[in-house]
Amino acid sequence: MTDQLQEQEQEQELLKLRDEIDSIDQSLHDLFNQRALCAQRVAQVKEKHQGIADAVFYRPEREAQVLRKVMARNQGPLEDKAVAQLFREVMSVCLAHEKPLQVAYMGPAGAFSQLAASKHFGASALTMPVNSLDQVFKDVQDSNVNYGIAPIENSSQGIACQTIDLLKRYKLNICGEVELSIELHLLARDTLALSDVKTVYALDETLSQCNSWLDQHCSSASRKTVDSLDQIMQTLAEEEGAVVIAGDGVVDPQWQIVAQNISSNNEHKARFLILGRQQITPSGMDKTTVLVATLDKPGALYSLLTPFRESQISLSRIDTHSSGSVLGSDCSVFYMDFEGHNSEPKVAAVLQELSKNSVEVKMLGSYPRAVL
């Protein structure tokens, strides 16, 4: 067979496959619109029975159930989480068709909190940077936004004490959680050799995690911190040898990768809380978070842990926190994450036992465990 005949045969096979893809795309397009119309009718039913002002369109527990079903029924070749992420975006678009969710996070733009917000709510949510974590809580409490994002722990710095302080002060509910694997890359507008890097721009929090790598591979390059990644986009286009440190999904995907995964901690992970005003009903795989204040006396922690052991409820996190005027002054305060929903009888029984053995228990929320 001549080369020309082979090319013709290949082109014919490709044309058939492309036609098949076009047909599938048309079917997907029709189904997306059908789903959007159905979601629209759901919103109309809620407005009819709950009132326009009181209707809650975003249900974290329902979303978690849908994503779990997607992953359970997936048969490949796409990976379970990849398919779930596609559905995550479909749900985000359908919800935004009614009214985009507004989500506050502590800026600057490009911070890990923004990445967490986009991962949890999808690209169609409106992520809004504010100047402080306190402002995130205040905006949610004052109904200026639908939800807020707050960091709670990461693998390099441990528990976020400021978030716990604010959880003491504000009357908000934890509505969900986001787990984020953070990989930091060196990026440029155009193709650039590592040896040609002259200036490295980064947010302060990301630069500190990459200094060791930069010392080894870009020791002669100057390092500059910025308040927002948005500020340096034009600079990078005009400045020769300029690069930026950023995580996945923060900048335009057309940017060129100069070096991948340059953080000193290659297994850097962070967890964030979704803050809202609503109480979340069970999803089937839930977590409960509380703050518990106890008197400083021998055996106090043992008394708190005993009900969990007897009920065979797993604690996923327990941290001692400094007491304050809001919760348990002159007491030991414990931040506790454990499996189950507070509506479950055995969880309710444990909470009751905690109340007996402590000065105060502040329920922070029961919410779906992270799916993605």
CB 275 within 8 A of CB 136: yes
- Out of 276, 306, 329, pick the residue that ends a domain: 276
CATH of the domain at 109: 3.40.190.10
Whether residues 194 and 237 fall in one domain: yes
Alpha-carbon gap, residue 320 to 93, rounded angstroms: 41
The more confidently predicted of residues 330 and 255 is 255
Whether residues 216 and 167 fall in one domain: no
Measured CA distances, 362 to 131, 164, 351, 359 (Å): 27, 12, 10, 10
Measured CA distances, 276 to 2, 174, 315 (Å): 67, 6, 23
Q: pLDDT (tens digit, 9 = 90+) per residue, 150-162?
A: 999 987 678 899 9
Whether residues 204 and 144 fall in one domain: no
Q: pLDDT (tens digit, 9 = 90+) per residue, 300-330?
A: 888 899 999 999 999 999 998 876 555 555 6
What confidence score (pLDDT) does residue 266 get?
Answer: 63
Assign 47 a pLDDT band (cuts: 50, 70, 90).
confident
Whether residues 127 and 189 fall in one domain: no
Structure tokens at 176: 């969900």
Q: Does residue 312 fall inside a structural domain?
A: yes
What confidence score (pLDDT) does residue 369 get?
Answer: 97
Backbone angles phi, psi at 132, to 5 degrees: -150, 160
Mean pLDDT over 346-360 rounds to 92
Q: pLDDT (tens digit, 9 = 90+) per residue, 196-222?
A: 999 999 887 788 888 889 999 999 999
Mean pLDDT lowest among 21-25, 115-119, 292-296, 348-352: 292-296
CA nearest neighbour of 174 among 364, 322, 320: 364
Whether residues 116 and 170 fall in one domain: yes
Q: What's the start-to-end Cα distance of the chain, in Å?
A: 50
pLDDT at position 15 over 70? yes
Mean pLDDT of the chain: 89
Structure tokens at 47: 């407005």
The more confidently predicted of residues 322 and 123 is 123
Assign 183 a pLDDT band (cuts: 50, 70, 90).
confident
Alpha-carbon gap, residue 25 to 102, rounded angstroms: 31
Whether residues 175 and 144 fall in one domain: yes
Q: Does residue 71 fall inside a structural domain?
A: no
What confidence score (pLDDT) does residue 303 get?
Answer: 87
Q: Does residue 31 fall inside a structural domain?
A: no
Assign 55 a pLDDT band (cuts: 50, 70, 90).
low
What confidence score (pLDDT) does residue 326 get?
Answer: 53
Residues spanned by the domain of 189: 184-259
